[in-house]
Every structure is written in C-alpha cells, then in structure tokens.
C-alpha cells in the first residue's frame, strides 16, 4: 500500500504514523509549507513536497488531511489520479471529491494534539465511498489502523461532527471557565483534575443522564441562587449557569 | 481512631470504606433508613443504627455525610460529644457546626457512584477547622486516606463546589445532550466515548484554553451556521450551541 499524505497538521501526523506503523509506505507528505512537510516526512521515511504538481500519480491512496476550505483546491489537483482519494473531514460532503474517479471519506472522531500519543486502534473511523469497489478498499485500509469502523453517509457524519462540538469543544470550554473561576478566587485548576477524569470515566459505562448529580437535577433552588450570587461579577458564567441548569431541569422533568 | 459515620449514601460509603482501609474502626453507621445503614455497616464491621440518640458518645470522629439540608438536625444531636465532628459539604459553611465543641469540614472534591471504585488517595480533600487543635487532628485524619490535602475557608470551598458544577454537572449534561443528538439521528453514544476520554485526559497536562479546537475558536461562521441549521428541530441544543460558541469566541478574542 503506497500512500500520499496531503497535509501535515495534527490529524495528518497521527494518521500518517498509524498507516506507517501498519506496514504501509508513505511516499510523500505535502504541505504548502515545505518545512512543515519535512517535519512529518522525516518521521515516516517519506519525501516532503510543497508543490501539488509534484504529487506521485502512482500511489494507491491519497489522504487529504487539510482544513475544510482547502479541500476543493486539493481535489482539483487530484482529478487524474487512479488511486483512492479520501478526505478526512466530518463537516464536508463526499461530493467535494465528485470529480475524482475513486473517492471516499475516512473521518476519525477524535481530538489530536501534537504532543500526545493516541492509540489509533481505538479511534472510531467513519467510512463513506463512491462505489462498492472503493468501499472494499477503504474497509481494508481502515481495518489496518483501527478496530472501530462504521459506515455512515455524509449527513450522519455531519451529525457526528456536531455531537463532537458538544462533547469536546464545549466541554473543554467548561473546563476553561472553571479554571477562570478558580483562578479569579486564588485557587488552582489542578484541584479539579481528578473530578474531570472521573466524570469522563463514568460515562464510559453509564448513561449520562442516569448519573447526573448536583443542585439542578435535585431541584435545589437555594444552592442555585447562591451560586448565581457568587457569579455576580462574572456575568458570562452566570448566563451559562442559568442555561445549562435549565437544560438539566428539562432533561429530568 | 474510632469513627461514627452519619449517612449511608455514595459519599458516605466511599469515605467510610477509605477510613476502614486506613486502619480506623468504624463503630456505627447511622441512616434514617435502618436497611441503608445496615448495607454500609455490614461492609465495614460496624453497627447499624437509625436513631440519632443511639450515637456512641465515645468516638474520636463523627463524619456527617448527609444532604446539606439535613446537617442542622444532625448537628443539633451531636452538641454534647467531645470528639471531632466534621461535615463533608462543599456548599455548607463551617458555622453550621458552631454549637459543637470540636468541629470542622472535610470536603472531598469528587463525584462518587455506588458502582465504581475510587482511589481515595487521589481525591482532593479540603479542610477547615474551628481551632488549631481540631485542625491538627483533622490534618492527620485526612492524611490517612488521601495524599491531596488543602486547607481552605468556607468561602473558597463554595467556589470549589461551584467550579465542580461547571466541570462535572454541566459537562455531564453536554454528554447527555450529545447522546440525545446522536440517538435522534440513529447513531450511538458509544461512538463518542474515546473523544470524551481524550478531551478529559488532555487537560490533565494542558491548559484548557490552549488546546481548544472546533469551529468557534477558528471563527468558522459557515460551519457554525450549518450546525445551527442541523439543530433546527432541537431548539434547546441550538440555544446552548449559541451560548457556548459565543463564550469560546469571547475567551479567544
């Protein structure tokens, strides 16, 4: 399996390394920025390129791992290849690759950081392809790097991407706001870390609504009013407190 | 160290077991409900009682681990004891125990479930006491069950409790809402579990705002508008989407 990796960010880095570890050969890493291409390419014995016209036309697989709004330009430059061209975006329709003969989507539902290793075998991968033969190849390619594979259409993939905004981006913002609150009162975010871990661990085996705790689910108006008073000088946190407490009450009414 | 545990819920169960494991003797477990008292007492070789007048006056430590609004009644029944009386509530002032000679607070900042074991040594404990001698005893008691000990006054403890609402209760509600969204579209919550774990793991070593991702921090209005359109038949989720996206934009502006 010969692969060209188009992109060199966090997702590209983790995905290209997973393919390399599975025994594939990464021929090239492309980035607009030659240094960025080189940083990844040097880790996986690939060539670094920064010119789309230099892309090797003989690869079996082309991974487009760039920002969503850069996908059309990349797709246009891959019109004539015969290998399977995949984008990896949750929010982008498969139709973005319609001008390419063999194409599909390989969406990893995970948050990737440069500094943190990821066990790719545990990353859920969502597959879509333009034909049965593309899907056959895509299935075997995906099975080489992950044990958690699902086939979904572009509409369902968009819902997954949206659900990740709630469960990752918004959750992380709540972590950031709780840090603001603690620091504002001379306390440390580290004090909350065991609670944050346990809250995430709990829903690995339990249904979230069934393990809800705190004043809103108890209907403890006195504590909620007290909390809102404590947030008197942080109106943004007070608004979020009201909105999410109401949501909890509604879920449990 | 002879202890009386007043309460038999999740927190009482984990805390009493941690004390037992540290070598203390739990003399009695009290609950309004004799069966509940017995369920915990039988695990830790204690007597089960359901009458506050039967509380052993010779214990070194009395742990009040009941709902906040039940603390005054319990405190009233412990006025004459000489041992150290502690409540374990984040939201309750130490003054709730003012009528008792030796008193203090031992607040564990963690979410406890009956079904899940907890490594109590990792649970942050927040201490407050009415005198230096009470604090000396409280420090040694707390050090017997946890390695993470802090001394804070009632005001700071209330802030910690409030921050836990953001980082635990509200986070869990976001998990619940993302499950609603997935199920509404025929998808499974299990697909999000690796992302949920990684999001919590990431902030164990990184500062939350520095690892934020997603459309709001990128200022990607097109994706946000698309997401809001997808939430057209779920107005409550749309409101939360707007509120938290605005909060992320504000944090990063």
pLDDT by position in tens, chain A (length 253): 999 999 999 999 999 999 999 999 999 999 999 999 999 999 999 999 999 999 999 999 999 999 999 999 999 999 999 999 999 999 999 999 999 999 999 999 999 988 889 999 999 999 999 999 999 999 999 999 999 999 999 999 999 999 999 999 999 999 999 999 999 999 999 999 999 999 999 999 999 999 999 999 999 999 999 999 999 999 999 999 999 999 999 999 9
Q: How far B227 CA sits from the closest chain A CA (Å)? A: 6
CB A153 within 8 A of CB A83: no
| Contact (CB<8Å) A168/B199 | yes
Which two structure tokens, joined as six digits, stand for A96?
């973005």
CB B30 within 8 A of CB B58: no
Residues lower than pLDDT 70 in chain B: none
The pTM assigned to this predicted structure is 0.95
The residue with tokens 């607040």 is B107
CB B27 within 8 A of CB B4: yes
Is the CB of residue B252 less than 8 Å away from at least one CB of chain A? no
- DSSP symbol at B185: T
Cα–Cα distance for residue pair B174/B186, rounded to 1 Å: 18
| Contact (CB<8Å) B172/A203 | yes
Provide the 10 A C-beta neighbour count for residue B131: 12
pLDDT tens-digit map of B176-213: 999 999 999 999 999 999 999 999 999 999 999 999 99
Which value does ipTM take for this structure? Answer: 0.96
Contacts of A215 in chain B (CB under 8 A): 165, 169
**In chain B, residues 135-154 whose CB comes closer than 8 Å to chain A:** 148, 150, 152
Q: How far A51 CA sits from the closest chain B CA (Å)? A: 26
Please report the pLDDT score of residue B77 as a whole number: 96
| Contact (CB<8Å) B243/A247 | no
């Amino acid at each position: 399996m010969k692969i060209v990796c188009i992109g060199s960010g966090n997702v590209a880095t983790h995905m290209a390394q997973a393919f390399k570890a599975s025994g594939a050969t990464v021929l090239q890493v492309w980035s607009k920025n030659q240094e960025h291409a080189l940083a990844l390419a040097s880790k996986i014995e690939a060539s670094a390129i920064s010119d789309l016209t230099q892309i090797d036309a003989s690869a079996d697989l082309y991974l487009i791992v760039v920002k969503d709004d850069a996908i059309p330009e990349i797709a246009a430059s891959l019109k004539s290849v015969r290998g399977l061209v995949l984008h990896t975006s949750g929010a982008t329709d498969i139709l973005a690759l319609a001008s390419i003969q063999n194409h599909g989507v390989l969406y990893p539902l995970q948050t990737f950081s440069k500094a943190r290793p990821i066990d790719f075998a545990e990353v859920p991968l969502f597959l879509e392809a333009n034909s049965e033969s593309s899907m056959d190849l895509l299935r075997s390619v995906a099975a080489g790097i992950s044990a958690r594979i699902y086939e979904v259409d572009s509409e369902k993939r968009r819902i997954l991407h949206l659900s990740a905004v709630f469960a990752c981006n918004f959750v992380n913002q709540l972590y950031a706001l709780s840090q603001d609150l603690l620091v504002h009162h001379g306390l440390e975010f580290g004090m909350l870390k065991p609670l944050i871990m346990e809250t995430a661990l709990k829903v690995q085996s339990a249904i979230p609504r069934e393990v809800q705790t705190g004043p809103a689910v108890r209907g403890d108006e006195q504590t909620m009013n007290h909390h809102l008073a404590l947030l008197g000088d942080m109106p943004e946190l007070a608004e979020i407190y009201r909105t999410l407490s109401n949501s909890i009450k509604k879920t449990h009414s």
